[in-house]
Structure 1
Amino acid sequence: MHSNTLSKITRRAAIAAAAFALALPAAQAQQTLKGGTSMTPDHPAAEMLKKFSEVLDAKSHGKIKLQVLTNGVLGADVQMQSQLQAGTQDVMTTGTATMASQVKEMAILDFPFVFQSGEEFDRVMDGPMGKLLSDKAYEKGWVVLAYTHNGFRNTTNSKHPITKWEDYKGLKLRVIQNAMYIDMFKQLGANPTPMAVTEVYTALETKAVDGQENPLPQIVTMKMQEVQKYLSLTRHSINSEALLIGRKSWDKLSKEDQATVLAAANEAKQWKRHELPRMEAGMLETVKKAGMQVNDVSLAERQRMAVQLKPVIDRQNERVGEDFARQFYAEVQKVRTNVAAK
């Protein structure tokens, strides 16, 4: 073989090896995070997770991928929270109520009648109280990337509209398996029946219970409009949610990648805040078209409900710590004053 042919082959081999060496770090650097939600693909929580995945892909130029698994494929919220702590799952959206078993102060976000609007919630959670709760979550192995919500919880039933707290009297109402919710609806005169979410549709259809309470996304995605006559916009508590990454997964990221993940989470959060009112308006139309009677509950009546629930709230304040509760309510009041002054 001629020496110049040999040198050409050698040069080509060297170029190919150099190209492979250059490509190798990029291939190694690309990573796929595993993300889950217990909600259906059309639920706002799942939509936000998908948006986060898209933005993360764009902002990292394809370096960080997020695989999104919905419908509780990776487990229920509590199970996924443990997986984040163990490092076997990376990202999730979760109701903050289930985080309260490890961060007791989180429970306040679901207390009745704490917030009067979604904007109040957003501003409070973007401020010092959100940071304080995030710091407590960090100690438990979770990094809070964003706080969002899925609207307010409302009441549906098959008997009559709820216009005042007295209308709950005698209603057999499915509630989440949570001591505060049982206590709360007993105080309003209902007969609360704790039940797993998977059993609710059948229980409503067979009239085993008269009604239930949930935010609009759950009401619509679970097709409760097919088995309930009345929807009363009681807005008794906000359905708060956190976008989490496990601390073990977080610590594996470079500082630059951590900044990218935070920026993408913030963009997804802002997107959801903008889109949720539109989603909720569409959901209200869906239930009305299905034949549900929808009634609003006035702020004055909601304040009457809050007065009736004061013994429950006092007991819950003790549970989260009265000093913390006072600090939290003071921040809500400050934000409320600022929102009203806009």
Structure 2
Amino acid sequence: MVSVTESLSWRVVGTSPNGKPYTRWFPSAITVLRRLPTGRQAIFRRVWSRSGQRRFGFAFYAGDETISDALRDLAGELLGPAPHFLEMHPLLGEHDRLTIQHQTFTRNFWRVDNIPDLTRNLFGASRYRKDLVKAVARARPLGLFAAWSMRGLVPTDWVITLLQRHTATAEDHRLDGWVRQVPQSDLRPHLRGLDEVTLRRLTRNVTGLTSQQIRDLTWMQVAPPVRLRTWEELHDHTARIDNLARRARQRMRSAGSEVHDRARIDSERSALTGITERGLRVFTATEPETLLDWGRAARNCISSYEQGLLYGTVHLLGIYDGGALVANAEIEPGPPPNLRQLLGRFNKHLPREQHDDIVAFLTGRGVDCSGTYEGRIGCTAA
């Protein structure tokens, strides 16, 4: 294996305490350009601080502009010209555009020169099928990103349906600009809470599945799930909740001087979000506008708790079965947090199975549910 090494050092000249002059050398950086067995060139670099401790080390493929001209020229003589990035990753576009895109998604394309291997990287060997390979080969990049975001959440047949709605030629994978269609942030959190009916609709109806709308969506706060028909509806619903959340955060900042122990309150609210053993989805309200939505859906007065929500004197939960709001809960902040109310729509008691499932979830999250609260089975609401 042939390699070319460049070493940089600091020279320190001084006089010792006994009056003798000295010259010392300290390593600064070592760069090694090496041709790998595959014929590609790789750069390995180690950098040291002035104290002698190694600051970092890394490796990357040749073509980087930071290596010196002398090292590049010598490597060209001994190792030959460095291959172009597209020669190493033929299914990707220009390298500089990858640095600002979704790294986990684009990494599936690295060192892959055929669609079957790309399909395995994206969806896993257990979901590999010939019809999935054909759909990947013809899919548009944005559709491929959306389908990849749905992996494991829907059956493979649904993934194929989504990909087929974005039919295009396989050359789309090599267009210089295609990577720009892929957003920087993750789409999956916006899909994970949706019910099966909505996910099925999104794989069939791709209205609104555009690069601009999906890029906007990935930057927004995840919204409480509702039943939707199209990607456009998902975008508009999430945008509305995100705008309301920003306005609520502004109000919270203005009230921040009167709110004590905000870090603990935020931590408690985050811990109360999740999925129960029977699949109910539990969300914590962070802005008053969410309470308005819950109040309209459940026909209760939860929106009157706006001041308590803003000042951190109460935690309010919405419990969903699929896309339907089935219950709300009021929790008094701790330590430890205490359950005050757990009621269904119209302030009615929940069925025992739902009630026990939610109580078990809250108990597992550190909430004291042993006391008397409105909605407890066997108790009468005040």
Task: Give the structure-2-normalised TM-score.
Answer: 0.24
The structure whose RCO (Cα within 8 Å, separation 6+) is larger is 1
Larger radius of gyration: 2
Question: Relative to total residues, which structure has the larger helix share, 1 or 2?
Answer: 1
Task: Give the structure-1-normalised TM-score.
Answer: 0.26
